[in-house]
Each structure stands twice: as structure tokens, then as C-alpha cells.
Structure 1
């Protein structure tokens, strides 16, 4: 993949109206809940009728294909989702799936079918990946944040140069006893704030940086070959894209025996500070049966630390899917 760093920097500088359209702060999201999409009775009725003749939901989660499905109401719902994903806020929350008493496997299947109507399911972690605390700490071992309960830093999904989900989803099967709140921030707002307040840091964000090879399938990829900028335009997705998780950058540099340049570290500090600006951060708690889909190019996310219920089978469980969704509407 050839990356014209100067071209991306020039596009960001020249595309003020596009960035302004996609930029938001917490107050904007709180004032306009168009990102919240209730699942209509027609969609639920259609899905229940599908289940009646579909067979084992667990098997269909792994085998269902879009071409074999005739679910027009769900297809319409997916189009509404796509409009939100590539619209101003870059995310959408599906609500109302808990109204019919679906089993866990039936919830998972609905989520997979919705994902198939949106685009292609990417499978480095299989079609879906269970997000729960496995007792790890990503800060001391090469495991993804999804396998821990500690507070996550703001980031976008995937460290891989070859695999980039431009959309990902999270289905909540069980919330935590306490914590685990999802935090979102607009990458375009972050860029605009940096350009206005700290333009001296932008060159560091448009240069290549090593990324640790923790995405399944990248085990044999040399870290020096897994390098790309934090901000790009028309490279990994159409238009502006943020790709960032500082920890995996710093561990990658350490593995190749190098240190992050002091100027780059200062740029990362400033980037982190803008993403943590409380005026920029929108928080959202997922209830059981709710699913959020996020444009991974223009929205960075985070999660607060959480505490699980002590009873077996009540631990916090989310189901993640990585998607490649056509960019155009």
C-alpha cells in the first residue's frame, strides 16, 4: 500500500467543509438523538418468522450469507444504519431487540444478519468476537483491549496495515455490574482542534509509525512493514481516517529497538489530551439487547474500567463484529 503522506496532509488542510460536517462535540450528540434507531415491530415480526423456519441459530451465525436472505425490513433497517454511519455522527445505536424475549443465540444471529446486510464480515477474529474480561492486562502482554476489564485508551480498532474494518459493531448481551461505559469522540473534531490550537504537532501525525502486530494473521509480518500514519485521506477508507492506539505504537517501536521521537511523543500527548477533552467525549451505556455500530475511520472509542457480577454467567459480555461497509450512499 503506497501512502502519499503529503497528499493526506494537504487534503485535510483543504477539506474544511467536509471535516466541519463530520465534526461534533458532546453537546451536539446530546441535542440530536437521530443516532438512536428503534427496531420497528415489522423488523421484529419478520425476524421471528425467519427464526420459525431457519433451523439452529448457532449454526446460522457461522454460515448465513447475504445472498440467501430475503429480509426486506431488515435490509431497510441496514440502509438507515449506513446513512448514520456515513453521516454526521458516524455511529448508530439499535434499540428494542430485547422486547421479544430472544435467546442469546437469537440475539447474536440478528446481529450477524444485520451486519451481513451492512457489508462484508471480516474474520481475523472469526465472524464475531466475544468481548469479556479474560483476566489479562493489555499494558503488560500482547492481548487486545477486548480481553481485559481495565480502562481502555481512546483508539480505533485494528493495528493491521492489511486489515482495516471501516465499521465495527458491539452487541450487548450482558452489561457489567458497574462501569464499562462506551466513550466516543469525533476524529474530525479532534483534527480541527489540533489544526487550530497546535498545528506544530500535525507533521508527526501524518508520518508513518510502526504498529505492533497483534491482529490475528499478522504474526509473521515484520513490524517495520506494519507502519502507516495516524491521519490519512482516501487510503484505508474514503475520506478522512484516524488510526490510533498509542500503546501499540510504543510497543512496536520498542520491539524494533527504537524509541518514539520526542517531537512525536509530544504530538501523541497533545492528541490524547484533545481526545480526552470532556467537551468532546460522548458517553453511552449499552443495555442488554442493544447494539452500536461505529464508523471506525471517523470515530475513536474508549471504555471505562468495569466490575463484573460475582455470579457465574453474569459477567459483562459484548459481541464484536468487524465490517467492511461500502462507503458511498
Structure 2
């Protein structure tokens, strides 16, 4: 990447006044999606056996979605694709289409203890702030956090009756504000914090991992936070060092800054939208929500965690968290307890297709 291609800090006002991050789809792209879905349905392969050739996107769709994913590595660090005709698809068809798109973009990561490759973000009665709790299966408002991938993607099948607003904040702007107002916290924010994997790691890896909240390498900044998981590591594991007073001050100050309306932009994700976020430069959250009574109308988003070929390098002291810090590497994800040979074959095949480094092979 060149200097001009890197992500930059932004304020909520900047985003509100410049909607270049919104990417509407035209009819040619929608038609090409339909054609590719028809081909994939006729083949009927399991998702992990599909290749990009099994979801043959036309040149307009390739350009639209590749451009969207590429845009997360530059400028704003996020985008919102609009106009997916989700009302035309069953939930099963939406899974196939979403997965097929991902095959052309990079390598998907597993997301939880059951090693799911696509997650339904839907209230299933789960609990959030408990040992092992995750937010995607609850209706709770979430702490500001990032996910375990280069780009997190959400596709909206049904919005909530009320609430569920997406909240995003530039972590680069937050770091700049900390350096402007509390430069004494710079050392603490660059030292490792321990994060709990919330039971979503594999059996052969530690249940916690060390990672600084902020670091830089080769001119690329990277930011990682999730206070819930940091607190869980402190509460449930006796063999990790306690947070220093300065580290606690960092977390407390982030709790003030991340939702501050100067920095935090509110975005409604509507039916047929796909949101893409760079997890190293954008921190996200959502408000709590109220569902419709009817099951078919309940809030339902599909989520993919992706590593992509043109990702940035990460600081060397992030390697225990991500397993690989080289640019364009297959990295991150929650391995979970159910990695299969089919997934490993998929991972190897996709890494080769996209020319990506793969330490998992």
C-alpha cells in the first residue's frame, strides 16, 4: 500500500457530511449475483467444498464487491453496500450467496466455539456479560469492540422493530485524542492486555492471549479493544498479570471516548445492506433492540469474518493473538472446538487461490 492508500482518522461530523462510504448496487450487479446463485444452487455443494468457480461472478459484481472490500483498507476504513435483493432469497439462499461472495474476496475465519463459518446475528436468548458470553446471539447493547479478522461483514436480512443501531468510531482518531489529552497513557496503551477467548479457542491454544490495544508497524497503525473480554481474563484466570493502574485508566478513558458523539457515528443497517469494517482502524458497537413478535420478522443479520489478500501488516507483538502478522496473511478467527478437515482444505485452497500466506496449513 502507498501512503495515500492507508486509512485515516475521521470524526462523526466528517462521515455525516461525506457519504462516499455508501455504495449502492446497480441492476447489472444484482443480475450477476442472481446468475451466480443459480449456478451454485444447481451444483448443490456444501459451502466448504465450493470454489470461486462454483459461484461465477460477472465482471460488474467482481468490481463492485472487490472495490468495497478494498475500500476498507483506505480512507474511512469502512463502507455500506446497499441494494441487495434479500427479499428474493430464502435464508438458505442468502447463506450460499454470502459465502459465494466471500470466496472471491479472501479466506473466511471461524467465529465461535463451534467453529461456525457464517454466524446468524439474531437474538437466541443468550447472555452477554457472563463467563463465555458473546453478543451476537442476544438483543443486548454491546461494548465497543473489534472482531478477530481483517474485515467484519454484516448482511441484513431483517432489521429490528426498534433499536439495533450500528455505532462505529475511528480508533485512529481516538488514539490521536489520547495523545493530545493524555500522552502519559501512551506507554500503557502499547503494553499487552490479556483478552479472554471466552471459550472459543481450540483445545491446543491458551484460553487467553496478550495483545496491546495500540501499535504500529511499517507506518500502519492497529488498534484492538474489548473491555468485556479483558475483564473476563482478569476475573477468571489467576495466572495472568493484573492490570496496572495506567492500563485501567486507558480502559476507563476509552469508555468515555468511544461513544462520544464527536467520534462515534450512528448508522442504521437496513434490509439489503452489507456493512464492511476494518477491524484495525474502526471500533464498533450497537444499541440494544426490540424484536417483532413474528419469527420471520425478527432482526436477522448474517456475519462473515474475512482475511483478505491486501491486508496491512500487524505489530510483531500481536502474533500470539493473530498467529501471523504478515500483510496478506490468513490470520485471526476463533478456531473453536470443531475445526474439520473440510475447513482445513477450504483454508488451504482459498489461501492458494488468493496468494495469501497460511500458517494454518
TM-score range, shorter chain: 0.7 to 0.9
Instruction: After TM superposition, give the deviation of residue 223 of structure 1 in Å.
Output: 4.2
Query: Which residue does the alignment assign to 2:142?
Result: 152
Is the Cα contact below 8 Å between 1:57 and 1:106 reproduced in 2? no
- Residue 118 of structure 2 is aligned to residue 118 of structure 1: no
Deviation at 1:285, TM superposition (A): 1.1
- Against the structure 1 CA distance between its residues 88 and 289, is the aligned structure 2 distance closer, same or farther, given a 3 Å change threshold? same
Aligned runs of 1:125-144 on 2, under 5 Å? 125-144=115-134
**Structure 2 unaligned runs (5+)?**
313-361
The CA distance in 2 between the partners of 1:118 and 1:169, in whole Å, is 11
Which blocks of at least 5 consecutive residues in structure 1 are unaligned? Answer: 1-16, 159-164
Work out which of the residue numbers 229, 250, 266 in structure 2 matches 1:283: 266
Distance change in 2, residues 1:295/1:21 (3 Å): closer
State yes or no: 1:105 paired with 2:92: yes
Q: Offset of 1:320 from its aligned partner?
A: 0.7
Offset of 1:88 from its aligned partner? 1.1
1:158-307 matched pairs, under 5 angstroms: 158=148, 165-214=149-198, 216-223=200-207, 226-234=209-217, 239-257=220-238, 259-307=242-290
Taking the aligned partners of 1:51 and 1:277, their CA distance within structure 2 comes to 42
Deviation, structure 1 residue 252: 0.3
The superposition leaves residues 110-165 of structure 1 with CA deviations (integer Å, 9 ceiling, x where unpaired) of 3222222221111244221111112222212312111221110111013xxxxxx1
Please tell me the root mean square deviation across aligned C-alpha atoms, in Å.
Answer: 2.5
Q: 1:313 aligns with which of 296, 300, 309?
A: 296
Structure number with higher relative contact order (C-alpha < 8 Å, ≥ 6 residues apart): 1
Stretch of structure 1 that moved more, 314-323 or 57-66: 57-66
Displacement of 1:56:
5.3
**Which structure has the highest helix share of the two?**
1
Taking the TM superposition and a 5 Å limit, the aligned residue runs for 1:1-80 are: 22-55=8-41, 59=45, 61-71=47-57, 72-80=59-67
User: Does the 8 Å contact 1:58/1:109 carry over to 2?
Assistant: no
CA deviations on 1:43-100 (whole Å, 9 max, x unpaired) are 1112222333432597554432225443222211122113311111111111111287
226-235 or 245-254, which moves further after superposition? 226-235
Secondary structure, counterpart of 2:144 in structure 1 = strand
Q: How many residues are treated as equivalent by the alignment?
A: 304
Please give the secondary structure, in 1, of the residue aligned with 2:81: strand
Decide whether aligned partners of structure 1 residues 113 and 148 sit closer, same or farther in structure 2, where only a CA change above 3 A counts.
same
Assess, with a 3 A threshold, how the Cα gap between structure 1 residues 215 and 157 changes in structure 2: closer, same or farther. Answer: farther
Contact 1:107 1:289 in 2 (8 A): no
Q: TM-score, normalised by structure 2?
A: 0.77
